[in-house]
Structure 1
Amino acid sequence: MVSRVSTPTGVVAVTPVTRLPPLSVGDVIAMRVARHMTDGVMRLVSGNLQLDVAGQQMFPVGARVALHVGRGPDGALSYQVSAAADDVPGQGAQMSAAAPRGDVAFQRLSTMAADLAARQDGLAPLFSGLSAATASPASAALPQPVLTAMAALFGLRLVADGKLDGARLKRAIAIAAGSPKGEGARGGLPAVLKDLGEALRASARGGEGIAREGTPPAPPSLSRHPQAHPPGRASADLVQALSRGDLTIAALLLLGKSDAALARVRLSGLTSLGVLGDGNGAGDGTTFDRTLDLPFASAAGTGVISLQIGRDDTPGHDGEGEHPAWRVRFGIDTGESGPVEAVVGLDGTRLFATLWAERGETASALSENLSDLREMLWASGLEVVELRVLPGLPGNPPAASGQYVDRVS
């Protein structure tokens, strides 16, 4: 068996036991057949985990299968692929009995995900609240740990200016995912949110955060279309607390936003593991390997780009080896632009891109600039195969029920 894990920066050879949850003898992992590599090799996927397996029964592309973990004669872990329990009538009880460890591990993650989904909220309300706090004269009396954490969080934003390039975007994605490199980037966005929450909780003398009133954004997804989060305004309660100098209430309001934002970031991580039952709701059948929220700073304030990244395993696709193919889909709303969605495919140096804009004037403006964008992409060494703008936004089908449940049991 050859095991490969896809990342936005390449394909890294690993053994399956290095992935979460840990594999143990007796585990059964729910996976999907992504494609047939050759006559005797098929690619299995589960979230951002990919396995190319040989010497097994060949299942059709799209079939749901179970990866059974055992121990071979040499003492090393061995793997067997079979049809998933729900694809074989009467086999559910046998699957459950054969995989107690796998069931427990996945059930714990599912329980955690359900809790996070109930508490999550977008990053935009937190940034708008922090901006109001920074602009208020009362902020001078905030404890230094709170001010330090606020400054660190503002420093993680992707700045939408003329200096944006691939290296800065790559680093911003790594920071949002919690895996940054270099000095001053310890733990990325999740760690800074955790530090901010601890500082605010101490400032409020251990009080519980006050949850924001309002409808939170849809939970992160690997399959459903990304939802843009435009810059917003601070809540009236927070503005009033700051204006009267009530830093305890202000800290509790910010703590509620910070905890909710951290819950969303953690939920994105669990969603990217592929254990939450997400992946069957896309209107076009497309699923991705990783989802994350990327805060960006513009003249209107701080918004959030909803980003999905994945390897392109479309049957018949030949982007392998030295030039792996990737798909990126994102939603962005600067406030002035309205919601915009884009999907970009990259096969080596060949680029395919489609943009949608909800507002007609935004779609027209994007269309008028297509020639300049095409020339810029060509100048950077990319072969622009397709580049187009469409009015309106692609829609989602109704959300499937039972998203936050164990995919195996």
Structure 2
Amino acid sequence: MAAIPSDPAQLAALIKSQNLATLLATMTGNGGLAAGKTVEAKLVSLDDDGNATALVNGVKVALVLAGPEARQAALQLGAGLMLKLAAPAEPGAPLQATLVGVRPAPPNSPSAPAPAGQPAPSTAPPNPQQTQAATATSMPPATAQVAAAPVALQAAGTTAGTASVVPQAVPASPRTIAGPLLGAALGRQDSLAPLFANLGSLAQGSVALTLPKPLMTLVDQILAQRLPTAEARPVTAEALKAAVARSGVFLEARQAAGEVPTPQTDLKAALQSLRDLLKPAVEGAPTARWPLPAEASKEAQPQPGRPAMRSTPEQDAAASAPAKARPAPPRDGLLTPQAAQEPSLNSAARPATIAQTLFGQAEAALDRIALAQYASLPQEAARLDQPPPARWLTEIPLALPNGTAVLPLEIERDPPQSGSATPDAPLWRVRFALDVEPLGALQGVVTLQGRAIGVSFWAEREDTSRLLRQATPDLETSLLRSRFDSAEFEVFTGHPQKAKAAAGQFLDRRS
């Protein structure tokens, strides 16, 4: 995963509330121009012939606007142009690009000269109705080519009837900006379960007898963030709320608000600390923050009553090989149950293998959290007068007797709907997936609107479905005693359908 700024002050400047787009935009590892990237260019100059100069990452780039629509575009010097780069039309030709957004120039910035034959934009505020019409109808594509650093531009232009009106450029959505930056993360991401399995083995001393104290301290801090599920300590609403808050998807938002999350209070911060601690050892840096055990520990120390074992290169490779990558956190679709896994490290693992395995699994877990953050970004609203539903997707590690399972959660909030039974109350929807023995894989959705609640379960095993149906009357009674006006339970065998019901319905039982 490409480096993300760790300076809280820098992150605070990048993050606004829980909007993660700007942060994810920093995941581009290099500043070069390449197809598939989205870059921001600052307009420096623009002449009558459509020749423009812009700054991309501090480098001057020559833009040649092609097409009458692009040359008619009213741009102000100092404006930020959000360019999504694409492959050239033919070998050796400049790259192509699409103008996906325009950031207004700072106040008092000079305006670019109007192309010949076009009157300068009026300084009077445009009529709102004219502006809306221009935005809706004046978006024909226009291309441009770049000379010095190859790139091309597709601009939103104006029609002849509205030439004197400055078109209101639609800014790039956070998802549009962040999407092209996540390709590498999609290939590297993996569940948290393999990492927690190995961390649990380290904490129990079944992998190595002697490990550096800073590493073991961090291991304990990460394992302490699991949600306890013991019968003596039932999961409460407050415990689940705290687990979601420290799951890592809100790390940068918390930093922007002035907090200083630590490895004890945020899972992503803890994984970043683990990665940084292991990185010098993995890269073979002479100034590693923690020393590897002595050379003698390259062979596992014998445990009482157990002969010493020597690891082979094949065993080391198998131990460090990542598990099969799981699907990326879905935006729309089914969640993936993630059962507890067996540790891939054993008592014969060499120190270098331990470091490499944990480092790779920490990187994969951080990539998965970044993808969950991307999945939590708002989609474009279907209507300008109605905001899109709020959605958060996260994953919670669960402490089980046989290890650590992962609980994917998708929390959704639809705005109030005028046609519903409670038009003033928003519709909350929580989806989850779980795979624990002896129940097996289980998925569910809980819906809440006002004081009406509905719960649906899907179990892969018929025996589990039967147990849930038998418990349904007691569960409904328990919810009614909690002062809900109505409570409904349904249990199905199999998997929920992928199709998503329209927002605003009270009980979304099939999604």
TM over 0.5: yes
**Contact 2:412–2:429 (CA under 8 A) maintained in structure 1:** yes
- Once the two structures are TM-superposed, the CA of residue 103 in structure 1 deviates from its matched residue by 5.0
1:191 corresponds to: 269
- Alignment deviations for residues 57-101 of structure 1 (CA, whole Å, 9 cap, x no partner): xxxxxxxxx9998799999xx99878999xx89745499524999
- Once the two structures are TM-superposed, the CA of residue 378 in structure 1 deviates from its matched residue by 1.9
Mapping of residues 76-225 of structure 1, within 5 Å: 91-93=140-142, 96-98=154-156, 102-103=171-172, 109-161=178-230, 162-176=233-247, 177-179=249-251, 188-204=266-282, 206=284, 212-225=321-334
Q: The residue matched to 2:408 in structure 1 has which SS?
A: strand
Q: The residue matched to 1:336 in structure 2 has which SS?
A: coil
Q: The residue matched to 1:141 in structure 2 has which SS?
A: coil
**Contact 2:226–2:398 (CA under 8 A) maintained in structure 1:** yes
Q: 1:84 to 1:262 in 2, by over 3 A?
A: farther
1:403 corresponds to: none
Corresponding position: 1:265 with 2:369: yes
2-side partners of 1:319 and 1:27: how far apart?
A: 44
CA RMSD in angstroms comes to 4.2
Mapping of residues 220-369 of structure 1, within 5 Å: 220-235=329-344, 238-239=345-346, 243-244=347-348, 246-274=350-378, 289-313=391-415, 316-317=419-420, 319=422, 323-369=425-471
- Alignment deviations for residues 135-180 of structure 1 (CA, whole Å, 9 cap, x no partner): 3355442112211111111111111134311111100111113357
1-side partners of 2:328 and 2:171: how far apart?
A: 25
2-side partners of 1:359 and 1:200: how far apart?
A: 41
Identity in percent: 25
- Alignment deviations for residues 284-305 of structure 1 (CA, whole Å, 9 cap, x no partner): xx98711111111112211011
Q: 1:245 to 1:385 in 2, by over 3 A?
A: closer
Which structure has the larger Rg? 2
Q: 1:25 to 1:296 in 2, by over 3 A?
A: farther
Q: The residue matched to 2:440 in structure 1 has which SS?
A: coil
2-side partners of 1:83 and 1:295: how far apart?
A: 50
2-side partners of 1:396 and 1:146: how far apart?
A: 42
Q: Structure 2 counterpart of 1:317, which letter? A: S
1-side partners of 2:79 and 2:441: how far apart?
A: 47
- Once the two structures are TM-superposed, the CA of residue 104 in structure 1 deviates from its matched residue by 10
Higher RCO structure (Cα 8 Å, ≥6 apart): 1
Higher strand share: 1
Q: Structure 2 counterpart of 1:257, which letter? A: Q
- Once the two structures are TM-superposed, the CA of residue 205 in structure 1 deviates from its matched residue by 5.2
1-side partners of 2:173 and 2:492: how far apart?
A: 46
2:95 corresponds to: none
The more displaced of 119-128 and 195-204 is 195-204
1-side partners of 2:132 and 2:339: how far apart?
A: 44
Mapping of residues 352-391 of structure 1, within 5 Å: 352-391=454-493
**Contact 2:322–2:361 (CA under 8 A) maintained in structure 1:** no
TM-score (norm. length: structure 2)? 0.55
Q: 1:172 to 1:319 in 2, by over 3 A?
A: farther
- Once the two structures are TM-superposed, the CA of residue 17 in structure 1 deviates from its matched residue by 7.3
- How many residues are treated as equivalent by the alignment? 326
Q: Structure 2 counterpart of 1:255, which letter? A: F
Q: The residue matched to 2:467 in structure 1 has which SS?
A: helix
Any gaps of 5 or more consecutive residues in structure 1? 1-15, 29-65, 280-285, 398-409
**Contact 2:451–2:484 (CA under 8 A) maintained in structure 1:** yes
- Once the two structures are TM-superposed, the CA of residue 258 in structure 1 deviates from its matched residue by 1.1
**Contact 2:193–2:339 (CA under 8 A) maintained in structure 1:** yes
**Contact 1:143–1:203 (CA under 8 A) maintained in structure 2:** no
The more displaced of 111-120 and 355-364 is 111-120
Q: 1:68 to 1:149 in 2, by over 3 A?
A: same
Q: Structure 2 counterpart of 1:357, which letter? A: A
Q: 1:178 to 1:103 in 2, by over 3 A?
A: closer
Q: 1:185 to 1:317 in 2, by over 3 A?
A: farther
